[in-house]
Structure 1
Amino acid sequence: MSYQLQNESEVREYLEKLAIEYRFGCYSEKKPEVCHLLGDYLEGIKKDFEKASKVYKSNCNDYDYAKSCYKIGAYNFLGKGQRNSKGDLKQAYHYFEKGCNLDDPESCLHAGLILMSKVISKEVERNVPKGVDFLEKSCQMKNALACFYLSGMHISGVNEKNNLDSKNDSNRNSSSSSTNYIIPKDMKKAFSFSQRACELGNMYACANLSQMYAKGDGVEKSEANAEKFKKLSLEMQDEVKKAQPALSFQQGINS
Structure 2
Amino acid sequence: EGCFGLGGLYDEGLGTTQNYQEAIDAYAKACVLKHPESCYNLGIIYDRKIKGNAAQAVTYYQKSCNFDMAKGCYVLGVAYEKGFLEVKQSNHKAVIYYLKACRLDDGQACRALGSLFENGDAGLDEDFEVAFDYLQKACGLNNSGGCASLGSMYMLGRYVKKDPQEAFKFFKQACDMGSAASCSRMGFMYSQGDAVPKDLRKALDNYERGCDMGDEVGCFALAGMYYNMKDKENAIMIYDKGCKLGMKQACENLTNLRGY
TM range, smaller chain:
0.7 to 0.9
Cα shift at 1:185: 2.0
Q: Describe how 1:17-36 pairs up with structure 2 within 5 A.
A: 17-27=22-32, 29-36=33-40
Contact residue 47 and residue 85 of structure 2 kept, 8 A: no
- Tell me the number of residue pairs that the alignment of Structure 1 and Structure 2 aligns: 204
What secondary structure does 2:214 align onto? helix
TM-score (normalised: structure 2):
0.72
Amino acid at match of 2:104: L
Alignment of 1:28-47 (within 5 A): 29-47=33-51
Deviation at 1:59, TM superposition (A): 2.4
Q: Which moved more, 1:105-114 or 1:215-224?
A: 215-224
Structure index of larger Rg: 2
Q: Say whether the 8 Å CA contact 1:51–1:81 is kept in structure 2.
A: no
Q: Which residue type is aligned with residue 50 of structure 1?
A: A
Structure-1 separation of matches of 2:61 and 2:151: 32
In structure 2, the partner of 1:76 is 80
Distance 2:210 2:155 in 1: 19
Distance 1:205 1:30 in 2: 40
1:175-194 matched pairs, under 5 angstroms: 182-194=159-171
Residue 130 of structure 1 corresponds to 130
CA RMSD of aligned residues (A): 2.3
Gaps of 5+ in 1: 159-181, 242-255
Is the contact between residue 80 and residue 90 of structure 2 (CA under 8 Å) also seen in structure 1? Answer: yes
Structure 1 segments of 4+ aligned residues over 6 angstroms from their partners: 1-5
1:54 aligns with 2:59: yes
Residue matched to 1:144: 144
Which has the higher relative contact order, 1 or 2, with Cα contacts under 8 A spaced 6 or more apart? 1
Choose the corresponding residue for 1:212, options 189, 209, 224.
189
Quote the sequence identity (%).
28
CA distance in 2, matches of 1:23, 1:100: 26
TM-superposed deviation, 1:20 = 0.5
Q: Please name the residue that 1:166 is paired with.
A: none
Q: CA deviation at 1:186?
A: 1.6
Tell me the distance in 2 between the aligned counterparts of 1:203 and 1:193.
13
TM-score by length of 1: 0.73
State the 1:80 CA deviation: 2.1
Per-residue CA distance 1:231-255 (angstroms, 9 max, x = gap): 22233339xx9xxxxxxxxxxxxxx
Displacement of 1:46 in angstroms is 2.3
Residues 180-227 of structure 1 deviation map (CA, whole Å, 9 limit, x = unaligned):
xx3232211111111111111111111110110111112222222112
Return the letter of the residue paired with 1:70. Answer: Y
Q: Which residue of 1 aligns with 2:180?
A: 203
Q: Which residue type is aligned with residue 157 of structure 1? A: G
**Correspondence 1:64 to 2:68:** yes
CA–CA distance in structure 1, aligned partners of residues 43 and 87 of structure 2: 18
Kindly indicate whether residue 118 of structure 2 is the aligned counterpart of residue 116 of structure 1: yes
